[in-house]
Amino acid sequence: MDYLADRTRLIDASGIRKVFALAAQLKDPVNFSIGQPDFDVPDAIKEAAIEAIRRGNNRYSQTAGDAQVLARLNERMQARYGWQNAPAMLTSGVTGGLLLAFMALINPGDEVIIPEPYFVMYKHLVNMLGGKCVFVDTYPDFKLPADKIADAVTARTKVIVLNSPTNPTGVVNSADQIKQVVEIAKKHNLLIVSDEIYEDFAYAGPNASAASQYDKVLVLKGFSKTYAMTGWRLGYAVCHSSLAPLMEKMLMIQQYTFVCAPSPFQMSLVTALDYNMDAYIAHYRAKRDRMVEGLAKHYEVVKPEGAFYIFPKIPSHYPNASEFVKKAIANNLLVIPGNVFSERDTHFRISYATTDQKIEQGLDILKKLATERN
């Protein structure tokens, strides 16, 4: 169709959403494909949203979001990073924040350094905006490779994207690894976009952030994963005051795109920010341990320290991950092939955000796929 914009040729339907659609057609599948918690929004937070609706908080908010919520977030940023009066805005999920940030930052030809494997949206947003993705290989251990990032910097480099805990690998970048990347960014006067949507799912302790070490960091955080409110579309962007012009442009773009994050759900955040999710996180740590234990005898696995993903390597008797996934689906198991998140197709992503019963069923199927020859 010649009336379509050229940029539409740079993307295709999300591989994750394709599997999600397939799940609706299968009878009671073991679904390891979608990254959303299997628990529901805690009742107290639900009630806060319902009360906001009843109270009439159903109109547009200010573009940046509710002032009370922003004040609470600012207190958090000051406590964590020492940032006072940090510019912040509520976004329609972290994905909405990514779109606003990349639209405000990337010109055609600008290079964006992205450690690989990567969250699928990074690649497609950069491509649609005319930028160039420069992928930095982190295989086989998925640790942040400062030397490769340094080698990837050119005169066209504008942004380094960091994601920790990471999707799809579940790896958590250490403070020292991040420091090495920060030094590269400082040397070349580069901006870091730090995607920290899974920060509460960091099982070994508080998640390290580049924002603790560098002023030129745009931090994107969210509530979808922590509180299981993926459909509420709530995230936020925050930066040091020295990057206020960037936040101003993101706000302008929001005016002409999302307008604002969903108003009644914004009001639930006052309750959510005080709600203790430790028991939920501990439950997911136990799920992680069970998955790693069950996979270790049959798959090459890097133990994840965060999020709720594992990125195993396919057994050697499969030609690629796409073929492995076809075989898995034939056995009523839904997983995502590695080429959705990478330029390689050697691994596959498991989301263990499901019931313990489904985890056991899935492990049995995965054992069968590893031990049986075609």
197 in a domain, yes or no?
yes
- Clarify whether residues 268 and 162 are in a common domain: yes
Tell me which of 227, 254, 272 is where a domain ends.
Answer: 272
- Clarify whether residues 267 and 334 are in a common domain: no
Mean of per-residue pLDDT scores for the chain: 94
- Clarify whether residues 92 and 238 are in a common domain: yes
Half-sphere exposure of 87 (CA within 13 A, CB side): 18
Q: Quote the pLDDT of residue 294.
A: 97
Model confidence at 14: pLDDT above 70: no
321 in a domain, yes or no?
yes
User: Are the C-beta atoms of residues 115 and 144 closer than 8 Å to each other?
Assistant: yes
Query: What is the gyration radius of the CA atoms in the chain, in angstroms?
Result: 21
Sort residue 178 into left (φ over 0), alpha (ψ -120 to 50) or beta. Answer: alpha
Give the pLDDT confidence of 200-259 residue by residue, as tens digits: 999 998 999 999 999 999 999 999 999 999 999 999 999 999 999 999 999 999 999 999
1 in a domain, yes or no?
no
User: Are the C-beta atoms of residues 148 and 27 closer than 8 Å to each other?
Assistant: no
- Clarify whether residues 80 and 176 are in a common domain: yes
- Clarify whether residues 305 and 175 are in a common domain: no
- Clarify whether residues 155 and 236 are in a common domain: yes
- Clarify whether residues 242 and 348 are in a common domain: no
Q: What is the CATH number of the domain that holds 104?
A: 3.40.640.10
Output the DSSP codes for 12-45: ---HHHHHHHHHTTSSS-EE----S-SSPPPHHH
129 in a domain, yes or no?
yes
Q: What is the CATH number of the domain that holds 291?
A: 3.90.1150.10
- Clarify whether residues 220 and 358 are in a common domain: no
Structure tokens that stand for 55 in this block:
């109270």
156 in a domain, yes or no?
yes
The domain total for the chain is 2
Cα–Cα–Cα angle for 350, 273, 308, rounded to 5 degrees: 10
User: Are the C-beta atoms of residues 337 and 15 closer than 8 Å to each other?
Assistant: yes
| CA pair distance 133, 137, nearest whole angstrom | 12
Residue with the larger pLDDT of the pair 89 and 330: 89
- Helical packing angle, 93-105 and 244-255, nearest 10°: 110
Tell me which of 213, 247, 272 is where a domain ends.
Answer: 272
Q: Average pLDDT in the 321-327 region? A: 92
- Clarify whether residues 65 and 157 are in a common domain: yes
* Domain carrying residue 322: 6-41+277-371
- Clarify whether residues 82 and 104 are in a common domain: yes
12 in a domain, yes or no?
yes
Q: What is the DSSP letter of 117?
A: S
Give the pLDDT confidence of 112-142 residue by residue, as tens digits: 999 999 999 999 999 999 999 999 999 999 9
142 in a domain, yes or no?
yes
Give the pLDDT confidence of 298-317 residue by residue, as tens digits: 999 999 999 999 999 999 99
What are the φ and ψ backbone dihedral angles of 179, each rounded to 5 degrees? -60, -40
Tell me which of 272, 300, 317 is where a domain ends.
Answer: 272
SS3 letters across 284-349: HHHHHHHHHHHHCCCCECCCCCECCEECCECCCCCCCHHHHHHHHHHCCEECEEHHHCCCCCCEEE
Q: Quote the pLDDT of residue 198.
A: 97
Give the pLDDT confidence of 155-167 residue by residue, as tens digits: 999 999 999 999 9
Q: Quote the pLDDT of residue 190.
A: 98
- Clarify whether residues 125 and 82 are in a common domain: yes
349 in a domain, yes or no?
yes
- Clarify whether residues 64 and 158 are in a common domain: yes
Give the pLDDT confidence of 247-296 residue by residue, as tens digits: 999 999 999 999 999 999 999 999 999 999 999 999 999 999 999 999 99
Q: Quote the pLDDT of residue 315.
A: 96
Q: In what order do the strands lie in the sheet with 111-116?
A: 88-91, 235-239, 217-222, 191-195, 157-163, 111-116, 132-137
Q: Quote the pLDDT of residue 374.
A: 58
